[in-house]
Chains A and B, each alone.
Chain A
Amino acid sequence: MNLLLPGMYFAADTVLHRLDPRVKMGAATVLMMLPFAARHPLGHLLTVGLVGAAVLLSRAPWRALLGTLRTVFWLGFFMFFFYFFTTPGRPLVALGGVTVTLEGVLAGALQVYRLCLLAVIAALLTYTTSPLQLTHGLEAMLSPLARLGFPAREMGMVMTISLRFVPTFFEEIETLSRAQKARGVDLSSGPPWQRIRNTVPVLVPLFLSAIRRAEDLAVAMEARGFRSQPHRTRLYRLTLTRADAIAALIVLACGGVGIAL
């Protein structure tokens, strides 16, 4: 496969990679709340410092992080101008009927800052945690709900299976578009509606193969005696280490201070 998507897992051996997925997901949640909950500038400074430290620890390539920010560029752009023009306050400049206010500029900047932090935190989580670990952690966090009848284990299974097939489908799309190109379809040029119509020869076989795969997988799982109901044990179990405890403490402490300030 030739593509590197923003937010794709980046295999490495750093402190962040080794942390328990449950701790990382909890920490990400706390860090994502901070830029909204903090009122004092020092709280924001603390948040940025913490995220910055995490970025350095993760050794994630800068190019990849910038790619993540690019995905939220347009959203940030519109949010900024929305606040820019609609917040009442002290007028700065009047641009033909619309007044730009100082409060507007500040509010817009605040929204963009929050959005960027959210994107970076989410990317950090997926850079340092493999999809398998993520689902494993999510399943573990949801398992208390299983007693209330929530199908936590089944959810985990569904997530694991769907993630497993993402690269397979990318490869299949690649092969199918080459095969149809060899039959004379030009997938990358022509008027827009023509291009949309040209996706049919790729999408129909893709769906067909997805359905066939799902059937085969279901039969294969049954044939091997897979059942979701009885308690299943795992080869690798999640265990909390000292590093996990320290990381959790740091994030919680910073979160507490950030909100209290």
Chain B
Amino acid sequence: MHIQVESLTHIYARGTPAERVALRGIHLEIGPGERVGITGPTGSGKSTLVQHIAGLLVPAAGQVLLDGVPAHARTPEARARRRQIGLAFQFPEAQMFEVTVFREVAFGPRHLGLGADEIAARVRWALEMVGLDPDAFADRVPFALSGGEMRRVALAGILALKPRVLILDEPTAGLDPRGRADILARLRAWQAQTGATLILVSHHMDDMAGLVDRVVLLADGQVVADGPTGHILSDCDRLRAIGLSPPPAVALLEALRAAGWPVRTDALDVEEVVAEIVRGSISHKDTKAQRI
């Protein structure tokens, strides 16, 4: 699906003393199958922006077009497009209400009006996708699961809708490091399998680095930068200027560079960083040797 955000403005509590402008004329275009990260400090408008893309909010000005149709319109075409967008809110496990894991995951597909066989197949597929064994989990009570398992069930509930655009708002918040790495790996596998658009909202730079190709930087309701992940995340000065901390790998390389080591600073994963340090240390020795 082609997503176009055109001079989108959103104002909370309009006309009251608590009025607050959350988005100021945002322009953004996301093509089909793109993997995009949206980041920015708390209150920069990330969550508001993705709720607009999902058609859940009505813009104060501007619009969001999904394949050319306004996202919030009350027309059948707009509704059909909204149904192809899956949005997982922050802490999605807080929305669970069913008595079994199966019914919880099946809730969305049931509202799509699918047949019983198709629903069962989707539930199995979605649970496997998030790394839960359908036979072991389908009949369990969602509220008796661990926090990490609840998060997976909630995400499976969204995946079972088979969205063409999946929006995840801080999907790893509150998970332990292993749980995070695992969820991110499963999302990567899901995206590779379906080829759907993935929009990841996070202020964990590390989550971004492993999952998206493009990063949109928001600050104070405006887009301050938009470009390839490595390019945006290695710009330490800009990240710090809006109150974010660069990913640890980049921070390390930057510190080395400041100490006079000739290394690049746009390497994001550990192996790249190690390679860069090794390369840098060799040439560092060479220059030292030359000087002597």
Contact = CB atoms under 8 A, between A and B. Distances in A.
Interface of A: 1-2, 4, 11, 175-176, 178-185, 200-201, 204-205, 208-209
Contact of B112 (A175, A182, A184): A184
Given A175-B89, A200-B97, A205-B97, A182 B54 contact: yes
6 tightest Cβ-Cβ pairs between the two chains A and B: A204-B97, A184-B111, A182-B87, A183-B108, A179-B95, A179-B89
Nearest to B14: A2
B14 to A, nearest CB: 8
A182 B108 CA distance: 9
A4 B89 contact: no
A8 B56 CA distance: 27
A183 B158 contact: yes
Nearest to A176: B95
B94 A209 contact: yes
A185 B94 contact: no
A21 B194 CA distance: 62
B83 interface: yes
Contacts of B111: 183-185
Contact of B56 (A176, A178, A204): A178
B23 to A, nearest CB: 15
B97 A201 contact: yes
B50 to A, nearest CB: 10
B146 interface: no
A183 B157 CA distance: 8
A183 B97 contact: no
A184 B95 contact: no
Interface in B69-97: 83, 85-87, 89, 92, 94-97
Contacts of B16: 4
Nearest to B92: A179
8 contacts: A4-B16, A176-B94, A179-B92, A182-B54, A182-B158, A184-B161, A200-B97, A205-B97
Contacts, number: 51
Given A175-B89, A201-B107, A181 B56 contact: yes
B95 A180 contact: yes
B242 to A, nearest CB: 26
A185 B83 CA distance: 10
B95 A201 contact: yes
Contacts of A209: 94
Contacts of B112: 184
Given A182-B86, A184-B161, A205 B56 contact: no
Contacts of B13: 1-2
B161 A183 contact: yes
Nearest to A4: B16
A184 B97 contact: no
A181 B161 CA distance: 12
Nearest to A185: B111
A181 B17 CA distance: 29
Contact of B94 (A11, A182, A205): A205
A133 to B, nearest CB: 18
Contacts of B125: none
Nearest to A201: B97
Contacts of A179: 87, 89, 92, 95
